[in-house]
């Protein structure tokens, strides 16, 4: 017990020291004297599986069988590769404050994950999910421009540095407006459609969602990422996510091409190609 107490005391002391160092940290200056965020960044968490805390489990994809819901055959066929690793979660306070209708839709999304998750179909991921998928993204900025480029699906977003007003139309990645509060880059994202999810667990939002991102450098290679979510169609109160972004270094500090739509053509268009409609007696050419 004495040894355990000493270990816990040491861990607490290390946490306090690390927090103090982060508070005192001053990032290298970049364009316009602001912190230099240029580089390739990536998370190392399980948020893309489920943003709430979760234990390791089988995939949530289910189909209705003679004996009730069972795992989808394609998931069963790949064994542990279709499982979900445990995660600490990134939701501040652990639970998302869903309305009754919002929670019901989440459960529907979970049951249909294998065919409904926008990630599986290679649709643009939206914000904030684009930032915590298992792929790196690159930030490029100067005094007059700020640009995010994502490996997944070739997604990009150009950050407005003056308030553009209301988004003219809803889109997958929405409209982003960025400004600085001290050493923190703040980006407000509006005008996203309601077709993106937060993760593979079916967590979702509506088309009125507003996302406020806060990027704060904490060392030369880490950045605190705090995200506020407001959406009174889906949630009973605003809520937040928080995680660490890591700057990649070395030869692999670059993003690759992952134009994944070519890998899901059969999923999205196979039924049309094969002429599966009733009465079709041959493939459609």
Q: Beta-strand (E) ranges in 123-205?
A: 137-141, 146-150, 156-158, 175-181, 184-190
- Residue 144 tokens read as 């007059």
Q: Which of 38-47, 112-121, 266-275 has the lowest mean pLDDT?
A: 266-275
147: confidence class by pLDDT, cuts 50, 70, 90: very high
- Reading the block at residue 7, the tokens are 């270990």
Taking residues 2-12, what's their average pLDDT?
Answer: 54
> Above 80 in pLDDT, residue 47?
yes
pTM: 0.83
Name residue, tokens 């997604």.
Answer: 155
Could you tell me the pLDDT band of residue 114, with boundaries at 50, 70 and 90?
confident
| 148-189 pLDDT tens trace | 999 999 999 999 999 999 999 999 999 999 999 999 999 999
Q: Is residue 222 scored above 90 in pLDDT?
A: yes
Give residue 262's pLDDT: 80
Query: What's the pLDDT score for residue 280?
Result: 46
Res. 142 pLDDT band, cuts 50 70 90: very high
pLDDT at 271: 76
Q: Residue 162: name the closest of 140, 181, 182, 179 by CA.
A: 179
227 falls in which pLDDT band (50, 70, 90)?
very high
- The three-state secondary structure class of 132 is coil
Q: Residues, the chain, total?
A: 285
Question: Is residue 59 predicted with pLDDT exceeding 70?
Answer: yes
| CA nearest neighbour of 189 among 136, 144, 138, 229 | 229
The burial of 258, by beta-carbon neighbours within 10 Å (0-12 exposed, 13-18 middle, 19 or more buried), is given as middle
Say which residue, 75 or 107, is predicted with more confidence: 107
pLDDT > 90: percent of the chain: 67
Q: How far apart are CA 68 and CA 62, in angstroms?
A: 10
User: By mean pLDDT, which of 17-26, 48-57, 228-237 is the weakest?
Assistant: 17-26
Residues 6 or more apart from 59 whose CB is under 8 A from it? 71, 72, 75, 82, 83, 84, 113, 114
- Going by pLDDT thresholds of 50, 70 and 90, the confidence category of residue 58 is confident
Of 175, 213, 217, 212, the C-alpha closest to 192 is 175
Cα–Cα distance between 229 and 46 in angstroms, integer? 19
User: How open is the CA angle 201-240-192, to the nearest 5 degrees?
Assistant: 70
């Amino acid at each position: 017990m004495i040894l355990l107490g000493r270990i816990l005391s040491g861990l607490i002391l290390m946490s306090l020291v690390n927090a103090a160092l982060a508070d005192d940290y001053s990032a290298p200056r970049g364009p316009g004297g602001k912190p230099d965020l240029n580089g390739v960044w990536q998370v190392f968490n399980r948020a893309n599986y489920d943003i709430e805390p979760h234990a390791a489990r089988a995939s949530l994809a289910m189909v209705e069988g003679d004996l009730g819901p069972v795992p989808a055959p394609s998931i069963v066929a790949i064994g542990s590769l279709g499982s979900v690793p445990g995660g600490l979660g990134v939701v501040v306070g652990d639970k998302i404050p869903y309305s009754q209708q919002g929670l019901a839709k989440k459960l529907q999304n979970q049951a249909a994950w294998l065919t409904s998750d926008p990630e599986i179909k290679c649709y643009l991921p939206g914000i904030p999910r684009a930032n915590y998928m298992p792929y790196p993204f690159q930030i490029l900025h100067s005094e007059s421009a700020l640009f995010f480029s994502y490996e997944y699906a070739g997604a990009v977003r150009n950050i407005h540095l003056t308030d553009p007003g209301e988004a003219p139309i809803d889109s997958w990645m929405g409209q982003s407006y960025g400004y600085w509060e001290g050493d923190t880059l703040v980006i407000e994202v509006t005008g996203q459609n309601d077709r993106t999810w937060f993760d593979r667990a079916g967590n979702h939002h509506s088309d009125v969602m507003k996302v406020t991102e806060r990027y704060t450098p904490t060392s030369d290679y880490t950045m605190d990422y705090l995200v506020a979510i407001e959406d009174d169609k889906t949630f009973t109160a605003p809520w937040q996510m928080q995680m660490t972004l890591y700057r990649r270094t070395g030869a692999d500090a670059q993003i690759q091409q992952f134009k994944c739509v070519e890998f899901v053509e059969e999923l999205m268009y196979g039924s049309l190609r094969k002429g599966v409609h009733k009465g079709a007696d041959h493939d459609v050419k």
